[in-house]
Structure 1
Amino acid sequence: MKLQIEQAELADAARWIARHIPTKGTDPTALAVLLTADGDGLTVAYSSVEVSASVTIEANVIDGGKAAVSGRIFADILGALPPVQVEITGGPDGVDLAAGTNDFHLQPLDVHSYPSLPPMPALSGQVPGDLFATAVANVAPAVDYQTQAMPELGGIRLQPTGDQLQVMATDRYRVALQHIPWRQTGDAVSALLPGQGLVDIAKTAGAAEMADLALTGGSAGVQAGNRTSVSRLLPVDKFPNADRAFPKEYTATATCDVEELREAIRRIGLLLEGHQAIELSMASDHMIIQALRNTKATGKARIDCQLEGVESFDIAFNPRYLLDGLAPIDGQAAINLTTYAKPALIHAAIDEPTFQYLVIPVRDPAKAASA
Structure 2
Amino acid sequence: MKLKIEQLNLSHLISLVAKAVSPRSPKPALSCVKFSAGEEGLILDATDQELWIRSSSKDVEIEYPGEVLVDARLIEEIVKNLPKSDVQIETEENKRVKITCEKSKFELFTQEVEEFPEFKPPNPQFEFDLSPILLRDMLEKVMFSASTDEIMKNLNGVYIEIEGKTIRLISADGFRMALTEKEIATPDIPEQTPYMGFLLSLRSVREISRIIEAGEEEDKMHVIYDGKKIGLELNRTFVITQRIEAEFPDYKKVLPEGFKTKITLPTNTLYQSIKRIGVVAKPGSETIRFDIADNIFQISSTSSDYGNSKEEMSIEKEGDDIAIAFNPRFLLEALSRVDDENVTLSFIGPLSPTQINPATLSDYEFIVMPIRM
TM-score, normalised via structure 2 length:
0.90
Deviations 1:192-224 (A, max 9, x none): 111111111122124252222223221111211
Task: Show the counterpart of 2:74.
Answer: 73
Size of the alignment, in residue pairs? 360
Deviations 1:200-253 (A, max 9, x none): 1122124252222223221111211111111111125x1111122112332222
Task: Show the counterpart of 1:86.
Answer: 87
Deviations 1:288-325 (A, max 9, x none): 21115757511112345332233x32221111111111
Q: Is the 8 A contact 2:262 2:346 kept in 1?
A: yes
Task: Show the counterpart of 2:318.
Answer: 308
Q: Is the 8 A contact 1:188 1:214 kept in 2?
A: no
Q: Which deviates more from structure 2 when the two are superposed, residues 151-160 or residues 90-99? A: 90-99
Alignment of 1:310-349 (within 5 A): 310=320, 312-330=321-339, 331-349=341-359
Q: Is the 8 A contact 1:95 1:108 kept in 2?
A: yes
Task: Show the counterpart of 2:177.
Answer: 175
In structure 2, do the counterparts of structure 1 residues 293 and 39 end up closer, same or farther at CA, with 3 Å as the change threshold?
Answer: same
Task: Show the counterpart of 2:197.
Answer: 190
In structure 2, do the counterparts of structure 1 residues 69 and 139 end up closer, same or farther at CA, with 3 Å as the change threshold?
Answer: same
Opposite residue 117 of structure 2, the aligned amino acid is P
Structure 1, gaps ≥5 residues long: 365-371
Report SS of the residue matched to 2:155: helix
Q: Does 1:214 align with 2:215?
A: no
Deviations 1:239-296 (A, max 9, x none): 1111221123322222222222222222222211222311122345442211157575
Q: Which deviates more from structure 2 when the two are superposed, residues 181-190 or residues 87-96? A: 181-190
In structure 2, do the counterparts of structure 1 residues 294 and 358 end up closer, same or farther at CA, with 3 Å as the change threshold?
Answer: farther
Task: Show the counterpart of 1:245.
Answer: 254
Opposite residue 153 of structure 2, the aligned amino acid is P
Q: Say which of 283, 287, 299 aligns to 1:289.
A: 299
Distance 1:157 1:109 in 2: 36
Task: Show the counterpart of 1:145.
Answer: 148
Distance 2:294 2:220 in 1: 45
Distance 1:45 1:159 in 2: 29
Report SS of the residue matched to 2:307: coil
Q: Does 1:121 align with 2:123?
A: yes
Opposite residue 224 of structure 1, the aligned amino acid is L
Report SS of the residue matched to 1:270: helix
Distance 1:305 1:4 in 2: 65
Distance 1:350 1:41 in 2: 49
Opposite residue 91 of structure 1, the aligned amino acid is E
In structure 2, do the counterparts of structure 1 residues 345 and 85 end up closer, same or farther at CA, with 3 Å as the change threshold?
Answer: same
Q: Which deviates more from structure 2 when the two are superposed, residues 8-17 or residues 295-304? A: 295-304
Opposite residue 189 of structure 1, the aligned amino acid is M
Cα displacement (A) at 1:336: 1.6
Opposite residue 325 of structure 1, the aligned amino acid is A
In structure 2, do the counterparts of structure 1 residues 77 and 131 end up closer, same or farther at CA, with 3 Å as the change threshold?
Answer: same
Q: Is the 8 A contact 2:280 2:303 kept in 1?
A: no
Distance 2:261 2:307 in 1: 30
Q: Does 1:363 align with 2:369?
A: no
Distance 1:29 1:363 in 2: 50
Task: Show the counterpart of 2:264.
Answer: 255
Report SS of the residue matched to 2:360: coil
Q: Which deviates more from structure 2 when the two are superposed, residues 185-194 or residues 258-267? A: 185-194
Task: Show the counterpart of 2:206.
Answer: 199
Q: Is the 8 A contact 2:164 2:195 kept in 1?
A: no
Cα displacement (A) at 1:121: 3.4
TM-score, normalised via structure 1 length:
0.90
Q: Is the 8 A contact 2:122 2:225 kept in 1?
A: no
Cα displacement (A) at 1:83: 2.3
Deviations 1:19-78 (A, max 9, x none): 121223343212011100112511110123211110011212221110000011111122
Q: Is the 8 A contact 1:37 1:64 kept in 2?
A: yes
Opposite residue 25 of structure 1, the aligned amino acid is S
Task: Show the counterpart of 2:138.
Answer: 135
Q: Is the 8 A contact 1:284 1:308 kept in 2?
A: no
Q: Which deviates more from structure 2 when the two are superposed, residues 17-26 or residues 45-54? A: 17-26
Task: Show the counterpart of 2:6.
Answer: 6
Q: Say which of 89, 94, 97 aligns to 1:95.
A: 97
